[in-house]
């Protein structure tokens, strides 16, 4: 096995772990919302989990490159020059998905959970537009997370008046729990997207080297 084949196999395994982690992280707020509210679209934790950055960006868009990279470690059609080139080509899709995951996650961290923004806490207040993904350096702060409470006691956004419930906002309340889940999920997705971007870029380089230099003769005889 050449270094190109070994690195491609390592990339494939790493991408597999990352895409599974991305899907799992994206599912966390959806599952929590389902458990808390009994339905998905009422009082979601964030608008941005419905952009599916982990399921689509870090998940489905990474599957083709992952399959091609893992196939390179076997005596299969991807263990040749053409297969190496294909792995490089498919990793362009991985990079697009990773960038999408990074942008959505960064914007979610800037905006904070929906409980800090919307009086009705429903997806009806969400705006799904790619224009919303534009980032400005001056907006990169996490005041919603560092402040003791992201809503005022008498604010209509306060959990104490939402849906006629008698929720309060001390530490350990629904607000604090949603803030922690939102922060943890999207920081995790940001790291997953960044790592997928690095592995995708490295596989493009390795794939082209494998295409130019070839793979091991012992293994290529079985192609």
* Contact indicator for 195, 15 with CB cutoff of 8 Å: no
Take residue 140 and report the two structure tokens written for it.
């990169």
d(CA 7, CA 24): 26
Q: Which residues, other chains included, contact 206 with Cβ-Cβ below 8 Å and sequence gap of 6+?
A: 4, 7, 8, 11, 84, 88
Task: Determine whether 31 is exposed, middle or buried from the number of CB atoms within 10 Å of its CB (0-12, 13-18, 19+).
Answer: exposed
Residue 17 is predicted with a pLDDT of: 96
pLDDT of residue 202: 92
pTM attached to this predicted model: 0.79
Q: What share of the chain in percent tops pLDDT 90?
A: 31
Let me know: does 169 contact 149? Beta carbons within 8 Å.
yes
Residues 139-186: tens digit of each pLDDT:
556 667 766 666 645 444 444 444 444 444 434 487 788 888 999 999
CB atoms under 10 Å from CB of 143, counted, come to: 9
- Is the separation of the CB atoms in 197 and 101 below 8 Å? no
**pLDDT for residue 73:** 65
Residue range 104-133: mean pLDDT, rounded: 74
Contact 46, 114 (CB under 8 A): yes
Higher pLDDT, 207 or 192: 192
């Amino acid at each position: 096995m050449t270094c190109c084949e070994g690195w491609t196999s390592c990339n494939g395994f790493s991408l597999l772990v990352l895409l599974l982690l991305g899907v799992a992280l994206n599912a966390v707020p959806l599952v929590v919302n389902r458990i808390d509210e009994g339905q998905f679209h009422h009082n979601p934790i964030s608008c941005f989990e419905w952009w599916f950055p982990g399921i689509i960006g870090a998940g489905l868009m990474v599957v083709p490159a992952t399959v091609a990279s893992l196939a390179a470690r076997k005596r299969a059609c991807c263990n040749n020059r053409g297969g190496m080139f294909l792995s490089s080509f498919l990793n362009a899709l991985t990079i697009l998905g990773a960038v999408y995951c990074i942008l959505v996650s960064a914007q979610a961290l800037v905006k904070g959970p929906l409980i800090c923004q919307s009086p009705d806490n429903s997806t009806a207040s969400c705006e799904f537009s790619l224009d919303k993904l534009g980032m400005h350096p001056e907006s990169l702060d996490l005041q919603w997370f560092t402040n003791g409470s992201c809503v005022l006691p008498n604010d209509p956004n306060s959990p104490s008046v939402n849906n006629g419930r008698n929720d309060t906002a001390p530490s350990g309340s629904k607000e604090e729990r949603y803030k922690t889940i939102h922060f943890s999920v999207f920081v995790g997705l940001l790291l997953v997207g960044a790592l997928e971007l690095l592995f995708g870029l490295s596989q493009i380089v390795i794939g082209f080297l494998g295409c130019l230099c070839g793979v091991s003769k012992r293994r290529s005889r079985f192609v």
